[in-house]
Chains A and B, each alone.
Chain A
Amino acid sequence: MVDHLAMSNDVTVTLPRIQERIPTVVVDDAHVVYRVYRGAAGNQSPVAAFRRMVTRTSAPNVREVHAVRGVTFTAYRGEAIGLIGTNGSGKSTLLRAIAGLLPVERGAVYTQGQPSLLGVNAALLNDLPGERNVMLGCLAMGMPPAEAQRKLPEIIEFSGINQRGDFSSLPMRTYSSGMSARLRFSIAAAKQHDVLLIDEALATGDKRFRKRSEKRVRELRESAGTVFLVSHQLSSVRDTCERTIWLESGEIRMDGPTEEVLPAYEAFTNGK
């Protein structure tokens, strides 16, 4: 193995290997600890809460959860990576750390551009019609108004919310949970992201929509982006991702090609 830096004066020798792999996300021994406030209500009296404030002792109602323990991996441009693991294994926490929404306790997460996290709870304005939400979402992703206007019909079409009549002009609170999840995904997928993080967002749609969105994920990936997909639906991971990371108790159990990781994971979950 040759060291690039040491031989920097004859790069031409080492360059024409395969196409250069450009990293988009580098996670270096990341630990994420988050604190849960159980609220003063818990099982303690107001007097106890007041005494704690006066004596300035740290609240006993704060619990620390060490959700990600020393994860290291590198994701490259054009990759779609599935994140699997049993409930509470730290998948969503890891995604939020990559999105910069949770600070890392130790280690570091480096990203290219600004990763966008798409989750099921990504709320829009429920009192406004779908099409207004599309416009707002597009503007919030930094599109100029003209481009947002141009993409509007495309996004509505992709989401398929108009299949049962003109829903796009109705307030979003009238939508079913599947419909609003579809609209949210369609908005986020309308823009080219350097790094797109999808947290179970595809699970809510029906089968037809899932097929369409899986296709869209592949397109996004091909046009030089990196996609992370958290899903409990292994078929969805199998169809979209060629690489899979299996997290268990906040640590990487396995990281490799999907066709190797999935069978191992299935054997693990079935064996339990």
Chain B
Amino acid sequence: MANALADPDSGLTPAQLATRYGLRIAGERPSLSRYTRQLWQYRHFISAYAHAKLTASFSNARLGQLWQVLTPLTNAAVYFLIFGLILKQNRGMDNFLAYLTAGVFIFNFTQTSVQNGTQAISGNLGLIRALHFPRACLPLAITVQQFQQLIGSLLVLFGIVLATGEPLTLMWLMLVPAILLQTIFNAGLTMTMARLGAKATDLKQVMPFILRAWMYGSGVLYSVELFAEALPGWATTVLQFNPMLVYIELVRVALLENAPLLNPSLPLTWLIALGWTIVMGLGGYLYFWRGEQEYGRG
């Protein structure tokens, strides 16, 4: 008798006692609306964490924050050397340097988000086990951090685009919605990868190959005209729906006068971009939330 009662004074069983004082099952997942509200309350943590990560990533480098601009610049230089000057992939394109750089930077934004996303949970177990906060803060912080990196890259890109003789037009304004859509897409994708990476530790080994394949399928390093020429019709149609290709094309349309495009109609390109943003952003968030109680376990 005495063993079954949690509180000998009141004569209640443990479960009754817990309900009476409003105790909840440990590690229970909050409802979606509650979770979203919590996440909003932690927005300062998200930005502080993103900023801290950014500072930490350069803390051992002598040139420090300068690498934020130097890294994309060197990247662009290497790709231009190989694909532009040695392999001559420009195929008579007007401004291959700017075309290539735009592709590399925009793809890199998603690529690094995904790479870091797989580590978002598994690389922060100490923090997760010690303190309680909505776990979505971590993948979101990665997205914010990569967004800050992208700003540095975009400055380099603007310099290259203007230096290679492209005019500054109103089309440049299209960049704002295009980057915004891609950022939401990235946030969803990063959250998805974070949950996958939390369980399947082999993912880290597989990701480089998937990302490499994705890059070749997004027309980053060569003209997209190559796809239409070399691939059967259905494959080209599939590639037209590749989200990365779509986001890259939007940026190329915005910045370059005569960029070759795979998607024939601009409104359709916007529609595909918007569709991917909604599906990935919302889907990734829901998927991550459903695993909330599992993170840090094991």
Contact = CB atoms under 8 A, between A and B. Distances in A.
A87 to B, nearest CB: 20
Contacts of A27: 14
Given A23-B7, A123-B126, A171-B59, A140 B131 contact: yes
B22 A1 contact: no
Interface string B190-226: 0000000000000000000000000000000000000
A124 B14 contact: no
Interface residues of B, number: 48
Interface residues of A, number: 59
A257 to B, nearest CB: 15
B17 interface: yes
A137 B147 CA distance: 23
A202 to B, nearest CB: 15
Interface in A17-67: 17, 21-29, 34-35
B60 A4 contact: no
B148 to A, nearest CB: 16
B56 A114 contact: no
Find the residue from A2, A29, A97, A125 having the highest chain B CB count within 10 A. Answer: A125
B130 interface: yes
A26 B130 contact: no
A217 interface: no
A141 to B, nearest CB: 6
A245 interface: no
Find the residue from A25, A112, A137, A140 having the highest chain B CB count within 10 A. Answer: A140
Given A100-B28, A139-B45, A140-B133, A24 B126 contact: no
Interface of B: 3, 6-15, 17-18, 21-28, 41-42, 44-45, 48-49, 52-53, 55-57, 59-60, 124-127, 129-133, 137, 293, 296-298
Given A111-B25, A188-B131, 17 more contacts: A23-B17, A23-B21, A23-B23, A26-B14, A28-B6, A28-B15, A28-B18, A72-B6, A74-B7, A100-B28, A103-B293, A108-B15, A110-B26, A116-B130, A117-B130, A123-B125, A141-B132
Question: Which 10 pairs between the two chains have the least Cβ-Cβ distance?
Answer: A100-B27, A123-B126, A122-B130, A110-B18, A28-B14, A110-B23, A127-B56, A139-B45, A100-B26, A109-B26
